[in-house]
Amino acid sequence: MSVEGRHEWYNWVPGRGAARKAETLAAAGVAGRSLWQDAWGRLRRNRAALASLWVLGVITLAAIVLPWVWPYGYAQPDWNLMYHAPTWAGWHIFGTDALGRDLFVRVMWGCRISLMVGVVATLVTLVIGVTWGAVAGFIGGWLDGLMMRCVDILYSIPFIPFVIVLMVLFGRNLLLIFAAIGAVSWLDIARIVRGQTLSLRKREFIEAARASGVGTATIIRRHIVPNLLGIVLVYVTLTIPSVILFEAFLSFLGLGVQAPLTSLGGLVSDGASVLQVYPYMLVIPAVFLAVIVYCFNFIGDGLRDALDPKDR
């Protein structure tokens, strides 16, 4: 075979390969894939992330379904069974608390609330923060100045007193907690995203997209945001747990969800006060909290790797 022959595709000269064109196109049978399809394939091959997804799925499902079918309600006291250690008798498998309420159903409710707080607040944070930061960073100029000054002003509001004032004014309310947490934590992410966008904006491939006639909104969606994913996902894996823990802190201050409803944070803080006498009161919700936080971490890591095509 001639040298030319062996490298025909590489040294392809228009015209020369015309005969083979149709054949190759058909034979290749190739269809374009996108980053997302590839990422899903890669995520599925990551054991830790996959296991975490399963665990989290099971916890979520349990937290939603089990309270419905469980023989006890979360607010149902039993004055004869206060601080009862875990037992199979009467299905108090996690024991009971100071008011004789079944701890299992309370933990399930706690998971439900904490996951909701964590995920919803983080989503709010993410949507506002990424959009705000990406728009400010990409468009730049006076708009950037204006948008970032807003962020500075919001930053200067002392957060905890602010939440306390809100609570006092409007009463304790789940929605308010989401809103308050979301409204504050998006500031960080907006700043991070803006910084990244500023450096992305100068990259040549953004210019190439503009030369191809791609509009600003599409560039942000198709080029900027996917390239921000790495850092944003790291941030999210840190934010969900920290939001959950923050809610726990609010509960500790007595500002969390309204009793008798509770969250994992609330349960942990209840448990902490009787740690020496009734350790299961702390250990059980703490284990759930830890498992959830770890799962998010693994999923976040897995997603970050899956979305980075360089990581094979």
Partner 1 sequence: MTASLLEIRNLAVRFTTGDGPVYAVNDLDLQVRRGEVLGMVGESGSGKSQTWLAIMGLLAKNGRAEGSVRLGGEEILNLPQRALTRLRGARMAMIFQDPMTAMNPFLTVGRQMTEVLEWHRGMSRREARARCIGALESVHIADAAQRLSMYPHEFSGGMRQRVMIATALLTEPQLLICDEPTTALDVTVQAQILALLDELRQRFGTAIVLVTHDLGVIAQLADRVIVMYAGRQVEQAEVHTLYGAYRHPYTEGLLRSVPRLDQPRSARLATIPGRPPDLARRPAGCPFEPRCAYASELCRQQMPPLVSLGEAHLRACHYDGALGPQGREA
Partner 2 sequence: MSEPALLEVRALDVHFPVRGPGLLPSRLTLRAIDQVSFDVRAGEVLGVVGESGCGKSTLSRALLKLIPATAGSVRLRGVELTTLPKAAMRPLRRSMQMIFQDPLASLDPRMTVGEIIAEPLKALLPGMERAEREQRVLRTMQHVGLLPAQINRYPHEFSGGQAQRIGIARALVVQPQLVVCDEPVSALDVSIKSQIINLLLDLRAEHGLTYIFVAHDLATVRHIADRVMVLYLGRVMEITDRDALYARPLHPYTRLLLSAVPIPDPALARRVGPTREELPSPLALPSGCAFRTRCPLADARCVAERPVLREIDGRYVACHHAEAAAA
Give dist(CA 295, CA 54) in Å, integer: 9
SS3 for 10-25 is CCCCCCCCHHHHHHHH
Stretch that binds partner 1, among 4-12, 42-50, 101-109, 125-133 (CB under 8 A): 4-12
Stretch that binds partner 2, among 31-39, 67-75, 123-131, 144-152 (CB under 8 A): 31-39
Binders of partner 1: how many residues, by CB under 8 A?
7
Candidates 131, 122, 119; CA nearest to 190 is 131
Backbone angles phi and psi of 281, in degrees to 5: -60, -30
Please tell me whether residue 7 binds partner 1 under the rule CB under 8 A: yes
Please tell me whether residue 69 binds partner 2 under the rule CB under 8 A: no
Please tell me whether residue 310 binds partner 2 under the rule CB under 8 A: yes
Please tell me whether residue 10 binds partner 1 under the rule CB under 8 A: yes
Stretch that binds partner 2, among 20-28, 75-83, 86-94, 247-255 (CB under 8 A): 20-28
Give dist(CA 284, CA 264) in Å, integer: 10
Please tell me whether residue 199 binds partner 1 under the rule CB under 8 A: no
Shortest separation between residue 206's beta carbon and partner 2, angstroms: 8
| CA dihedral over 220, 222, 223, 228, signed as positive or negative | positive
Please tell me whether residue 3 binds partner 1 under the rule CB under 8 A: yes
**Is 246:252 a contact under the CB 8 Å cutoff?**
no
**Is 55:291 a contact under the CB 8 Å cutoff?**
yes
Give dist(CA 94, CA 285) in Å, integer: 10
* Closer of 21 and 171 to partner 2 (Cβ): 21
* Closer of 42 and 112 to partner 1 (Cβ): 42
* Closer of 30 and 175 to partner 2 (Cβ): 30
Binders of partner 2: how many residues, by CB under 8 A?
41
Give dist(CA 197, CA 216) in Å, integer: 13
Polymer length of the chain:
312
CB neighbourhood size of 156 (10 A): 7
| CA dihedral over 245, 246, 247, 252, signed as positive or negative | positive
Interaction partner, residue 212 (partner 2, partner 1, none; CB < 5-8 Å by kind): partner 2
* Closer of 3 and 27 to partner 1 (Cβ): 3
Please tell me whether residue 15 binds partner 1 under the rule CB under 8 A: no
CB neighbourhood size of 22 (10 A): 9
Please tell me whether residue 209 binds partner 2 under the rule CB under 8 A: yes
* Closer of 68 and 310 to partner 2 (Cβ): 310
Which residues, numbered 214-253, are part of the site for partner 2 (CB under 8 A)? 214-215, 218, 222-223, 226-227, 229
Q: Which residues of 243-257 are buried (b: 16+ CB within 10 A; e: fewer)?
A: bbbbbbebbbeebbb
**Is 292:53 a contact under the CB 8 Å cutoff?**
no
- Token pair recorded at residue 130: 């990424």
Interaction partner, residue 3 (partner 2, partner 1, none; CB < 5-8 Å by kind): partner 1
Please tell me whether residue 304 binds partner 2 under the rule CB under 8 A: no
Residue numbers at the binding site for partner 2 (CB under 8 A): 9-15, 17, 21, 24-25, 28, 30-35, 38, 203-205, 207-215, 218, 222-223, 226-227, 229, 307-310
Residue numbers at the binding site for partner 1 (CB under 8 A): 3-4, 6-7, 10-11, 312
